[in-house]
Structure 1
Amino acid sequence: MRTVSAAGLALAAILSAGPGRAAEFRLTSPDLADGGKIADRFVFNSFGCSGDNVSPALAWSGAPAGTKSFTVTAYDPDAPSGSGWWHWVVADIPAGVTALPEGAGAPSAPGLPAGAVQGRTDYGSSAYGGPCPPQGDRPHHYIFTVHALSVDRLPVDPQASAAMVGFALHGTEIGRASLTALYGR
């Protein structure tokens, strides 16, 4: 019977771990808490809602090796549409960018990095459209996601719908990080 020493087990564990554990891909925001309520500043200003419709600041870290670009999306799976509601989509964010400032989703997109484009949301515009669930609904979940991609650019034009951008992501996404905030009225 062979006896394995504790030192031998420790050495085996170190050698099998490889060169180091990859950093965790994370999405954070100074404006949104995961599981928290979305402030009125980020709520839509129409359809009975009276927010400022400003996109929140987002930051990410720990992207997977091989990331060539990012896409950011904001989606409400609880919208009573049968298919949810796309609130924001930004494609072709260069790999060296790790944050979007508050207000980057304005129609003129002054806060977007060079080369990044906003796709068309379910509000029908290429800009951020904040939460505005139906009056009396339970709070909806708004999922903000940064997608790490293996390509520099997605094959979509700036007027592409969020669904088309999602389709183009398929097969090129190598990682994603999300945070979910809530809003109801």
Structure 2
Amino acid sequence: MLTITSTAFTPHGEIPKEHTCEGDDRPPPLAFASVPPGTQSLALIVDDPDAPDPRAPKRTWVHWVVYNLPPTTPGLPAGAALPPGARVGNNDWGRDAYGGPCPPIGRHRYFHKLYALDVMLPDLGAPTKAELERAMEGHVLEHAELVGTYEKTGD
């Protein structure tokens, strides 16, 4: 079964400040394992369903959209460049890059969703999460999630 883990935080644990807007705002290290046979590419979506306030969420905020990762990719080191061929979509800040946790209020959950696809997707440009999800329809072999949390400290 496909898995996604991080050496920076445990499942449902706190994401270190260095991977947030209060730190270096760089992606945490992620490790991928047990990629199913027949996988042609991997996709990664990081989002926060608790925006703007976990007590009254109004939307899911998208932090990172990545697709066409080679199926042999063992993971992504912290803040490292993506492997050749990988493409980045637009996050909800309108940037084709990672945008770390930056919750306006309360402790939010950040879902790191990894998808094993049976195709290499065409060049979608810089797709939104919704556009990538539409392109993945009917092509997901397996998916895995890693959830981390963060609340601003204001230090």
The 5 Å alignment of 1:2-21 reads none
Give the structure with the larger helix fraction. Answer: 1
Which residue of the partner structure matches residue 49 of structure 2? 77
Which residue of the partner structure matches residue 149 of structure 1? 117
Cα-to-partner distance string for 1:79-122 (whole Å, 9 max, x where unaligned): 13733011001110011212111103xxxxxx211110110000
What root-mean-square deviation, in Å, do the aligned CA atoms of Structure 1 and Structure 2 show?
A: 1.4
Higher relative contact order (CA 8 A, sep 6+): 2
Q: State the secondary structure of the residue aligned to 1:84.
A: strand
Taking structure 2 as the reference length, the TM-score comes to 0.89
| Identity within the alignment, % | 36
Unpaired stretches in structure 2, ≥5 consecutive residues: none
Q: Select which of 136, 141, 146 maps to 1:174.
A: 141
Unpaired stretches in structure 1, ≥5 consecutive residues: 1-23, 45-49, 105-110
Give the structure with the larger strand fraction. Answer: 2
Which residue of the partner structure matches residue 95 of structure 2? 125
**Do 2:15 and 2:150's aligned partners in 1 also have CA atoms closer than 8 Å?**
yes
Tell me which amino acid in the other structure corresponds to 2:31. Answer: A
* Alpha-carbon separation, structure 2, partners of 1:147 and 1:124: 22
Cα-to-partner distance string for 1:154-185 (whole Å, 9 max, x where unaligned): 4511x221221122112111101111000113
Taking structure 1 as the reference length, the TM-score comes to 0.76
The 5 Å alignment of 1:39-78 reads 39-44=16-21, 50-78=22-50
Residues 167 and 82 (structure 1), Cα distance of their counterparts in 2 relative to 1, 3 Å cut: farther
Structure number with bigger Rg: 1
Aligned length: 148
Tell me which amino acid in the other structure corresponds to 1:153. Answer: L
